[in-house]
Amino acid sequence: MFPGVEELQFPQLEIPLTINSISPILPSSPIPASNGDTLYLSNLDDMIGARVFTPTTYFYRSNGKPASVIINVLKEALASVLVPYYPFSGRLREIKDGKLEVFFGPNQGVLLVEAHSEMTIINLGDLTVPNPAWTNLVYTFPNEEEYKVIDMPLLIAQVTRFSCGGFSLGLRICHCLCDGVGAMQFVSAWAATARLSKLTVNPKPCWDREILMPHDPPLIVHPHIEFKRIEDGSSLTKSLWVVKPVQKCYRVSREYQAHLKSLAGNLSCTTFDAMAAHVWRSWVKALEVKPLDYELRLTFSVNCRSRLSNPPLKQGFYGNAVCVACATSTVSGLVNTHLSDTTCLVQKARLSISEAYLRSTIDFIQVNRPTRLEFGGKLTITQWTRFSMYESADFGWGKPIYAGPIDLTPTPQVCVFLPQGGDDDSDGTMLVCICLPEDASHRFTDIFCHL
């Protein structure tokens, strides 16, 4: 195993807890929306891949304050932040041709759940490694329909107090309202308001979804293979969905990432290009995908804020401003060639994203509006390493021990790159989390960790 990469372990456990209360949180003062008002969502906001809730959890050690004090601080700060971020207090509904919009009605607001557990933080094991066992620290409604976003609270927060005084904050934020950058902006405002005991929003939130309206008539200038439906004639999807996969996590040092980039042999490639290529190749090799001429796709999101100039997005825009990049290769093209070849495919896909591509994506969705997620031959990599998840989540009791996702197994064709958490400076160290069947997971470890 190359120095600098380590397979991480997490315990199999159950976290018994009791729900104490479920409270709606309304904006603390009047907002610029009345009952019956609506807000436009762009096609990037309500595309099929955004019609989900993104669950995350934050763990904090005891700060010596009673649970009631912590809850009140969070509630009051949240109510204050919901004034400038008032769209979070609305609901989604479907209108003409399946499009979504935000609408406002009486007594909506967001949801805050209070819970407690007799376990201690120490009982949970290594809190720097995401563990599917933490799922019940993020609230879901009884018998909640999978992927339901219509007529749901757009933010659901669960505060769980442990017997040692430590606690977790589990969040579900509707992806239709914000992308990762936007979610961090919201959490940062909430945390700063709690920490400073006064409303603090910097930058000022900006809605402006109308900037991303489609052309009339639509102008589609790219094939958008990222949305293409592919009949899966390979062993890939079946191997991942027939038996529930296992979640694997690896700690990858900055030195390993640099070494990987040097092996790619492309001076202009980024660390992400090389890491994504290595993960993709390792994943396909470990799954032993057949047939060899089957077409595969690697997709990943590209933040387009800096790419938009006509007109540019204002600072503080928190909506979805990402475009899906897509690299393609046959199975043979991945497993029988060099890392440098795959890295070039990833780099080419990333560099292909432009303002014109984003506008074409908006128009493609306007015309076709995909109604189901397509998994055929696909691995999706989500990069969270550039999000200030730890710095953004200091509510007045320090940075969290862990901040990030929990369970990837419900969507086993997703891999996440996370920043290293904990008490020490990560120095560029990342966590790679991915799902595979049990037998393939051992092969993946051997391939991924040995260069």
pLDDT tens string 43-63: 999 999 999 999 999 999 998
Q: Please name every residue paired with 415 in a beta bridge, in sequence order, or none if there are none.
A: 381
Compute the chain's Rg from CA coordinates. 22
The answer to whether residue 341 scores a pLDDT higher than 60 is yes
Residue 231 has φ and ψ, to the nearest 5°, of -70, 120
% of the chain at pLDDT higher than 70? 98
Assess whether the previous peptide bond of 142 is cis (omega < 30° from 0).
no
67's enclosing H/E stretch is helix 67-81
In the predicted model, what is the mean pLDDT of the chain? 94
Give pLDDT, residue 103: 98
**Interval 334-356 mean pLDDT:** 96
**Interval 309-333 mean pLDDT:** 96
Catalytic one of 126, 232, 394, 407: 394
The closest of 376, 331, 372 to 225, measured between CA atoms, is 376
DSSP type of residue 154: S
More confident residue, 313 or 240: 313
CA–CA dist 287, 276 (Å, integer): 16
Lowest mean pLDDT among 170-179, 228-237, 412-421: 228-237
Amino acid 421 reads G
Give pLDDT, residue 375: 80
Give Cα 76 distance to the centre of its chain.
26
Q: Contact at 8 Å (CB) between 158 and 74?
A: no
The answer to whether residue 1 scores a pLDDT higher than 80 is no
The answer to whether residue 82 scores a pLDDT higher than 60 is yes
Lowest mean pLDDT among 94-98, 146-150, 221-225, 369-373: 369-373
pLDDT tier for residue 412 given thresholds of 50, 70 and 90:
confident
**Crossing angle, helix 67-81 and helix 180-196, to 10 degrees?**
120
DSSP type of residue 438: H
Tell whether the torsion through CA atoms of 434, 437, 438 and 444 is positive or negative.
negative
Beta strand pairing call for 246-252 and 430-436: antiparallel
The answer to whether residue 3 scores a pLDDT higher than 90 is no
Lowest mean pLDDT among 341-345, 347-351, 383-387: 383-387
Give pLDDT, residue 244: 84
CA–CA dist 375, 12 (Å, integer): 28
**Interval 346-367 mean pLDDT:** 97
Q: Contact at 8 Å (CB) between 162 and 15?
A: no
Residue 88 to residues 26, 72, 98, 346, Cα–Cα distance (Å):
10, 20, 21, 35
The answer to whether residue 425 scores a pLDDT higher than 70 is no
- Residue 64 exposed, middle or buried by CB count within 10 Å (0-12, 13-18, 19+): exposed
The answer to whether residue 227 scores a pLDDT higher than 60 is yes
**Interval 4-10 mean pLDDT:** 92
pLDDT tier for residue 426 given thresholds of 50, 70 and 90:
low
Give pLDDT, residue 423: 58
CA–CA dist 60, 385 (Å, integer): 20
> Quick check: is 175 catalytic?
yes
Give pLDDT, residue 451: 77
Give pLDDT, residue 68: 92
160's enclosing H/E stretch is strand 155-162
Q: State whether residue 80 is helix, strand or coil.
A: helix
> Quick check: is 338 catalytic?
no
The answer to whether residue 76 scores a pLDDT higher than 90 is yes
Give pLDDT, residue 267: 76
More confident residue, 426 or 224: 224
Residue 75 to residues 84, 171, 423, Cα–Cα distance (Å):
16, 14, 27
pLDDT tier for residue 424 given thresholds of 50, 70 and 90:
low
The answer to whether residue 422 scores a pLDDT higher than 70 is no
Assess whether the previous peptide bond of 311 is cis (omega < 30° from 0).
yes
Q: Contact at 8 Å (CB) between 82 and 25?
A: yes
pLDDT tier for residue 144 given thresholds of 50, 70 and 90:
very high
pLDDT tier for residue 304 given thresholds of 50, 70 and 90:
very high
Catalytic one of 175, 179, 278, 363: 175
The closest of 75, 27, 53 to 140, measured between CA atoms, is 53
Q: Cβ–Cβ contacts within 10 Å for residue 54, how many? A: 16
**Interval 409-436 mean pLDDT:** 86
Q: Where are the alpha helices (DSSP H) in 197-310?
A: 236-241, 254-264, 271-287
**Interval 168-194 mean pLDDT:** 98
The answer to whether residue 257 scores a pLDDT higher than 90 is yes
Contacts of 359 (CB under 8 A, 6+ apart): 215, 219
**Interval 246-254 mean pLDDT:** 95
pLDDT tier for residue 410 given thresholds of 50, 70 and 90:
confident
Give Cα 60 distance to the centre of its chain.
21
CA–CA dist 379, 282 (Å, integer): 12
The answer to whether residue 211 scores a pLDDT higher than 70 is yes
CA–CA dist 142, 223 (Å, integer): 41
End-to-end C-alpha distance for the chain, whole angstroms: 8
Contacts of 129 (CB under 8 A, 6+ apart): 8, 9, 10, 249, 431
Token digits for 185? 């902006």
